[in-house]
Amino acid sequence: MNSIEKKFEKLATDNAPGQETRQKAGNIETLLRGDRLAGTPVDFSHGDVDAFAPAPGSFEAFAAGVKRGGAQAYTEYRGSLEIRNMLADRLASFTGAAVSADDGLIITPGTQGALFLAVASTVSAGDKVAVVQPDYFANRKLVQFFDGEIVPVKLDYLDARNKAGLDLSALEDAFKAGAKVFVFSNPNNPAGVVYSRQEIEAIARLADRHGATVIVDELYSRLLYDGTDYTHLRATGIDPERVVTIMGPSKTESLSGYRLGAAFGSTRIVGRMEKLQAIVSLRAPGYSQAVLSSWFAEPAGWLSERCAAHQAIRDDLLSQLGAVEGVRARKPEAGSYLFPRLPELAVSTQDFVRILRHQAGVTVTPGAEFGPHSTDSVRLNFSQNHKAAADAIERVVELVGRYRK
Amino acid sequence: MNSIEKKFEKLATDNAPGQETRQKAGNIETLLRGDRLAGTPVDFSHGDVDAFAPAPGSFEAFAAGVKRGGAQAYTEYRGSLEIRNMLADRLASFTGAAVSADDGLIITPGTQGALFLAVASTVSAGDKVAVVQPDYFANRKLVQFFDGEIVPVKLDYLDARNKAGLDLSALEDAFKAGAKVFVFSNPNNPAGVVYSRQEIEAIARLADRHGATVIVDELYSRLLYDGTDYTHLRATGIDPERVVTIMGPSKTESLSGYRLGAAFGSTRIVGRMEKLQAIVSLRAPGYSQAVLSSWFAEPAGWLSERCAAHQAIRDDLLSQLGAVEGVRARKPEAGSYLFPRLPELAVSTQDFVRILRHQAGVTVTPGAEFGPHSTDSVRLNFSQNHKAAADAIERVVELVGRYRK
């Protein structure tokens, strides 16, 4: 195998969320116990934008962008200045620290696009990068793609209380060992836990002390549940040139079909990201950029209603799962992910995930995608029709019983 | 300067088309001769989608995609199977060779996205890559970004007749010297010349003989002028696993605001491209994918009318430029680029480009973006309002006179 083959081997997407339809059924029939369970199929690998519709005004904003014509189709690579001006103000007010519309903000195709550009702009071959375990699978894959070296930092999300559970001394050790970049999601994807103010301030202090850059993915930071305090890293007083914050309207706002993301903060890194965007996808998403005019400008009450609806689903699913012997799950404080640890099963988690799909019409993402210590867990995006999701979890509970060791 | 700073230094976009608004005026005032020339500003750095409107049905197809909801927002990373099925048939019929909807086609955010993924999937650090001079600027930048080594192959576009003018023996030498990838655009961007059947067959033969992969950017292959024969590389009998063809509806069809591209051919490379797309932009452009239903399905007569309108602009602009002493330009056979060589001027081409914008409201792209032998040329995308473009060229002619050495 030559080097490029090896590189793409590591990028395996066979079990990645959304790619399940490409999986072969394989030997699944030989593993089955009992009959199929009837019920509405639920795909927990991503949110259901039919159950939670795109934020009001988004399509109208897109249509207005198309009407605007060339001026909207062709903008600066980093996005239209008018939209950046509008967005910079809203993001500054949301995160509690200034955003430069001119030099410190870039609009990207999806939040994934922002994450790719941020990692590509900070990580070279051989660079050490601190990566949380578990965390969003692309963090690890991106570092590997650019031949960086992953320095793992464990998140004790299951047992920690009133904090996410980051091993701060492991993070300090990573910086001492030469890690120049730290990438993490807050709220954590897949566990849905939020970093405490103390944790975020400690990250800021350590990054400043060791001259490290921090890429923080705050994709779910608007979907907060009762009692959750959220601290934006960029508002801690950390050197602003050390931080890139990533957000986008794909999740809480259900605008993922428009493929929009944004990165803001360090002007040095945003400058690089734009140069790279020129050859990765040329420019910010033409007409879709216009949809950002509806972002952070939703009707009064819209966001709190959306949070409440998700919180109700969270609570029901969690109580269903909590009743199962051997299942452990921490209550998510934000976002729409549940990350339960399963009891010991007679089949591998990978096979159990296939069985769930085959026998119960339930799609979940295996924990191994998020880190090597989560192989006994599965991730569920509970941004779904409430009733269908609860019914689907009943089927999961039933199958956990059947396949228990 | 550390290695990542050097890398991004090479990605400079200061003179890239579309980025002109970020340029500082600098010392421009000290160079000016005579007064400003009044007239409608024309931005020849890209086509004007207000002058040539998006193909009929595109917005309606997008709106239908939004209505479809989650099924359109979340597809396989390589794009919806339904759309791939439809597109594979149309692309096979257009290019004259089979396309596998399942394994041999990927939908990307813009044609730029396809090109990025194709180069990233075939070029590793230290690999030699044959690159045409002049050619689309991203070809060179992409190879540099992945630390490949460029082996230049000259295109004698100005003096060749009935062929593009590729130096085939230089291409053979490049392959003999170890180049494993050849990337080129046909029709050539910036020169608008089309490779002859003999040239394309020779490229196929050489690639097969030396085991090389060819990435061919056929973005403009639908916009052909009277008397032009077009040969698709993939229809020559070349090993189909050696070729990736890139197209998209951004140019002829003016759908650039929807950010759509497609790559098809080698299943091995398309497979890698999808794995990479997962971490670059996650998935094919959600709702925008639906717009592809209108592609290659335009109303009868629409394409030939669009070709005729562009041909008329080409002819007028060319005769205006041809009347200027010392200007040399070959008649484009396809696409909407003119690439005139200017006579010797008292200022650098770079400065002349800034002067054109400042003094005449005319934006063009300096030839140096496309290769080291084109520093005395400028590129103009003549997909513009006919009258405004002709008037703008009058101003260019006037300023060539003023700044002539």
What would the pLDDT profile of A336-353 be if each residue is shown by its tens digit? 999 999 999 999 999 999
3-state helix/strand/coil string of chain B: CCHHHHHHHHCCCCCCCCCHHHCCCCCHHHHCCCCCCCCCCEECCCCCCCCCCCCCCHHHHHHHHHHHCHHHHCCCCCCCHHHHHHHHHHHHHHHCCCCCCCCCEEEEEHHHHHHHHHHHCCCCCCCEEEEEECCCHHHHHHHHHCCCEEEEEEECCCCCCCCCCECHHHHHHHHHCCCCEEEEECCCCCCCCCCCHHHHHHHHHHHHHHCCEEEEECCCCCCECCCCCCCCHHHCCCCHHHEEEEECCCCCCCCHHHCEEEEEECHHHHHHHHHHHHHHCCCCCCHHHHHHHHCCCCCCCHHHHHHHHHHHHHHHHHHHHHCCCCCECCCCCECCEECCECCCECCCHHHHHHHHHHHHCEECEEHHHHCCCCCCEEEEECCCCHHHHHHHHHHHHHHHHHHEC
Question: How near does any CA of chain A get to the CA of B354, in Å?
Answer: 17
Query: Is there a contact between A66 and B257 if contact means CB atoms under 8 Å apart?
Result: yes
pLDDT at residue B285, as a whole number: 81
For A23, name the nearest residue in chain B, comparing CA atoms only. Answer: B76
Cα A182 from chain centre: 16
- A171-202 pLDDT tens trace: 999 999 999 999 999 999 999 999 999 999 99
pLDDT at residue B127, as a whole number: 97
Residue type, B136: Y
pLDDT at residue B283, as a whole number: 82
pTM across the whole model: 0.96
Q: What is the DSSP string of A357-397?
A: HHHH-EE-EEGGGG-TT-TTBEEEE--S-HHHHHHHHHHHH
pLDDT value at A379 more than 80: yes
For helices B137-145 and B110-120, what crossing angle results, to 10°?
40
CB B164 within 8 A of CB B199: yes
pLDDT value at A29 more than 90: no
Backbone CA torsion sign across B141, B142, B143, B146: positive
Tell me the Ramachandran region of residue B239: left when phi exceeds 0, alpha when psi lies from -120 to 50, beta otherwise: beta
Mean pLDDT in residue range A209-218: 98
pLDDT at residue B1, as a whole number: 66
Cα A196 from chain centre: 18
pLDDT value at A275 more than 90: yes
Q: How far apart are CA A368 and CA B35, in angstroms?
A: 68
Mean pLDDT, chain A, rounded, equals: 96
Mean pLDDT in residue range A359-381: 97
Of A63, A112, A281, the CB nearest to B113: A281
pLDDT at residue A26, as a whole number: 74
For helices A110-120 and B267-280, what crossing angle results, to 10°?
90
Question: How near does any CA of chain B get to the CA of A202, in Å?
Answer: 27
What do you get for the CA distance between the two ends of chain B, in Å?
A: 38
pLDDT value at A2 more than 80: no
- A38-59 pLDDT tens trace: 999 999 999 999 999 999 999 9
Query: Is there a contact between B259 and A256 if contact means CB atoms under 8 Å apart?
Result: no
Question: How near does any CA of chain B get to the CA of A376, in Å?
Answer: 24
Neighbours of A281 (CB within 10 A): 32
For B78, name the nearest residue in chain A, comparing CA atoms only. Answer: A19
How crowded is the C-beta side of A349, counted as CA atoms within 13 Å? 20
Q: How far apart are CA A178 and CA A176, in angstroms?
A: 5
CB A133 within 8 A of CB A156: no
For B21, name the nearest residue in chain A, comparing CA atoms only. Answer: A76
- B5-55 pLDDT tens trace: 888 888 888 778 878 777 776 778 899 999 999 999 999 999 999 999 999
pLDDT tens, chain B, 405 aa long = 678 888 888 888 877 887 877 777 677 889 999 999 999 999 999 999 999 999 999 999 999 999 999 999 999 999 999 999 999 999 999 999 999 999 999 999 999 999 999 999 999 999 999 999 999 999 999 999 999 999 999 999 999 999 999 999 999 999 999 999 999 999 999 999 999 999 999 999 999 999 999 999 999 999 999 999 999 999 999 999 999 999 999 999 999 999 999 999 999 999 999 999 999 998 888 999 999 999 999 999 999 999 999 999 999 999 999 999 999 999 999 999 999 999 999 999 999 999 999 999 999 999 999 999 999 999 999 999 999 999 999 999 999 999 999
Tokens of A388: 């269908």
Close Cβ partners of A250 (under 8 Å, ≥ 6 residues apart)? A110, A111, A219, A256, A259, A260, A261
> How would residue A22 be classed by pLDDT, with cut points 50, 70 and 90?
confident
* SS3 of residue A405 by DSSP: coil
- A290-337 pLDDT tens trace: 999 999 999 999 999 999 999 999 999 999 999 999 999 999 999 999
Q: How far apart are CA A350 and CA A358, in angstroms?
A: 13
Kindly list the residues from chain A whose CB atom is less than 8 angstroms away from the CB atom of residue B110: 281-283
Q: How far apart are CA B47 and CA A150, in angstroms?
A: 44
Q: What is the DSSP string of A199-251?
A: HHHHHHHHHHHHT-EEEEE-TTTT-B-TT-----GGGTT--GGGEEEEE-SSS
Of A49, A109, A123, the CB nearest to B281: A109
Mutate to test the interface with A, among B282, B289, B381, B385 (most CBs of A within 10 A): B282
DSSP letter at A342 equals P
For helices B386-403 and B302-322, what crossing angle results, to 10°?
20
Buried b (16+ CB within 10 A) or exposed e, B85-94: ebbbeebbeb
What do you get for the CA distance between the two ends of chain A, in Å?
A: 38
ipTM for the assembly: 0.95
Query: Is there a contact between A13 and B145 if contact means CB atoms under 8 Å apart?
Result: no
For A126, name the nearest residue in chain B, comparing CA atoms only. Answer: B3
